[in-house]
Amino acid sequence: MGSVFYSGIQTLVFRPLVAGLFRGTITGEDNIPDGPALLASNHIGAGDPIVTSSLLHRPITYSAKAELFTGHYPGRPVVAWFLRKINTVPVNRSGGRASREVFAPVLEVLGQGGLVGIYPEGTRSPDGYLHKGKTGVARIALAAGVPVVPMAMFSSETIRPIGIPWISHPRAVIGKPLDFGRFNGGDDDHGVLRWVTDEIMNAIMAISGQEYVDVYGASVKSGAVTKEAALAQVRSRPGGGPPPAFRG
């Protein structure tokens, strides 16, 4: 959390790029508590993690698929080294598992008092809508017993005005932290996980102003769900209804 390399590359490269050239801004940073927390955001641009980490004054850790660290592809050692140096931890989601074991690297960061960034949709929005959140965000929050801070990104999509990848005036807006402490230990209760995830997505929606589609973004991106079928699932908000019964 916050290595010399991380601090150096943020100061010398990413912050001048994002705040200076891209004209990025952030509001509501004082809503992030000093201790461990999850920063949960919508995901509209490939550069979202770099924009966010560059605008924040506090170091933030993101997760990436384990294959980027251990896979067989050209340049893997360099990529893996760089990812670790910029506070990225590997998460192995092969087989669709979603247990504490899978999220162990993230839970370790939170256990050390760190700030972890997460995109509950699991992928970039394929169409600009806010999509159904995966319950991993709730599982991590309840297993670690930490608050979830909702955030929304604006104008962070990559453009190519002169053939060079560029982001113009990206903006991050951070909301008030959400406390789900009454459900701590409920990270194996599907009803609790779904309700908590929907409440997090609703808070993100309230900040972003996006319309909500009750379909996973990955299903739309892969073609498993057509765009027409997805739009038939537009809802006024994720989930809803009273909190589930839970005895920790």
Task: Note the pLDDT tens digit of each residue in 95-143.
Answer: 445 567 788 899 999 999 999 999 999 999 999 999 999 999 999 999 9
Q: What are phi and psi of 153, to 5 degrees?
A: -100, 145
Q: What is the 3 state secondary structure string of 80-107?
A: HHHHHHCCEEEECCHHHCCCCCCCHHHH
Q: How many CA atoms lie within 13 A of 234 on its CB side?
A: 9
- Percent pLDDT > 70 in the chain is 96
Q: What is the mean pLDDT of residues 179-188?
A: 92
As a 3-state breakdown, the chain gives helix, strand, coil percent values, each rounded to 5, of 40, 15, 45
Q: Determine the Cα–Cα distance for residues 243 and 16; give it in Å rounded to an integer.
A: 44
Residue 39 pairs with which residues in a beta bridge?
117, 149
In Å, the largest CA–CA distance within the chain is 58
Given a cut of 60, whether residue 218 has pLDDT beyond it is yes
Given a cut of 90, whether residue 9 has pLDDT beyond it is no
- Percent pLDDT > 90 in the chain is 68
Cβ–Cβ < 8 Å for 54, 10? yes
* 9, two tokens: 């590359």
* 200, two tokens: 């997090």
The SS3 of residue 212 is strand
Task: Note the pLDDT tens digit of each residue in 31-71.
Answer: 999 999 999 999 999 899 999 999 999 999 998 877 878 88
Q: What are phi and psi of 242, to 5 degrees?
A: -70, 160
Q: Taking CA 10 as the corner, what is the angle to CA 30 and CA 128, rounded to the nearest 5 degrees?
A: 65
Kindly indicate whether the domain formed by 4-235 is annotated with CATH number 1.20.120.
no
Which of 161, 137, 132, 160 has the alpha carbon at shortest distance from 148? 137
